[in-house]
Chains A and B, each alone.
Chain A
Amino acid sequence: MGKASDLDSVGATDLPSAGQERLAELLERVAAADRVAFEELYRRSAGTLFAVCFRILGDRPQAEDALQETCLSVWRRAASFDRRRGNPMTWLITLARNRAVDRLRARRSPAEGSLLEAGEIADGRESAIEEMEKDEEARRLAECLGMLDDKDRNFVAISFFEGATYPELARRASMPLSTVKSRMRRALLKLRDCLE
């Protein structure tokens, strides 16, 4: 049921523009409470959004809950998507990432370790070869992350995937807030310049 791979591409934000157009159209119809459109939107995007949730949470039941919350947010907030400004898949992934990160933060506790298992599905990718041809973006990203030194890379990863705030990072790293901040900013600039 419901594989978004009915689309030509699996590359989420790299969807061919026809795919993006369709998503934007569907979001507009969802904004008008069109349930048929919502179902199609779900079928086209749920695989991508579920992968994002799972990647962040590393736990299937949690990722399922996060996906449900994400979809309900999409239903309620579709009206605030503006196609002139943004890419619909980016918008959807942002919602999913924020939902998942939110959950991760809520469950974070000293006993957390026991929740973190089952890493094996994290790369639920279809064919590596297809990916090679399509995912130019991902390759560039890998190169750019590879350029950062290890500590910087770790900082960047924690912020993208765990949504930690500066004060939290400073606490976790036992470093002064200003150090954390300047290190993160330096790393983000490098990342941006490399991606451009």
Chain B
Amino acid sequence: VTEGRALPDDDDLLAAELVLGLLEGADRVAAEARLVSDQRFAAAVEQWQQRCATIVDAGELDPPAWMWRAISAKLAANDDAPIAVGPKRSTLRWWQASTALASALALAFGFVALDRRPAPVQAAVISAPLVAVLSGSDRGILVTVSFDRTSGRLLLTPAGLHIGKHSAELWVIPDGRKPRSLGVIAEHDPSYRPAPSIAAEALAPGAALAISLEQPGGSPSGQPTGTIILKGKLKTI
């Protein structure tokens, strides 16, 4: 796992930028070219892919039952055979690759698939994110909540949260009104997800947030029923 670290930080960061899709244009092309010519760089890319996979990994969610039929029907309709990689890999070390293999590698890493569309024009000003640190009587437990008003997404970072078989549910409590649920939060994993729209309206500087312990899956009534364990207020950073 450490071999990639033989690279200087700048190069390792370039690998990260390539994996995340931060680069555009010539920078991107140059980094992709390096992927096939530099073994250590490719190893660093693999490591960043692994980190990225860990970060975006979200457990499991069952796809609908019809999904497999839909997929296999598409295979049949297109007679869409897998693309064979040119040279036989057992006789050619990957870093001695030909250009044909280079494009195969690019495919493997999914870069070509990215199909960079021209970026639609965004509103020029991003509003600063709102952040709250929720705490309670136990100092070891903290949940950081940050709300990106541009994308409408919440980033939740729990630390030290142990809730056994309960679910921890996050609420926003608008001044003088009923709490609105922001959903059940994972105990250990950071999560990044859209805020339910009804609750999102209430996410403003000064709004109170709270986490309550609820039965598994969250409060059945849509209002907090269990103990409030953590509280905090949103502020602009």
Contact = CB atoms under 8 A, between A and B. Distances in A.
B176 interface: no
A106 B114 CA distance: 11
B178 interface: no
A195 B71 CA distance: 37
B54 A3 contact: no
Chain B interface size, under 10 / 10 to 19 / 20 to 34 / 35 or more: 35 or more
Contacts of A91: 49, 108
Contacts of B122: 108, 168, 171-172
B194 A117 contact: yes
A125 B186 contact: yes
Interface in A21-44: 30-33, 35, 38-39, 42-43
Interface in B196-237: 196-197, 218, 237
B155 to A, nearest CB: 5
Contacts of A58: 153, 193-194
A119 B194 contact: yes
A179 interface: no
B96 to A, nearest CB: 13
Interface of A: 1-5, 10-13, 30-33, 35, 38-39, 42-43, 46-48, 50-52, 54-56, 58, 64, 67-68, 71-73, 75-82, 85-87, 89-91, 93-95, 97-99, 101-102, 105-106, 108-110, 112-114, 116-126, 128-129, 131-132, 135, 137-139, 141-143, 145-146, 150-151, 153-154, 157-169, 171-174, 184-185, 188-189, 191-192, 195-196
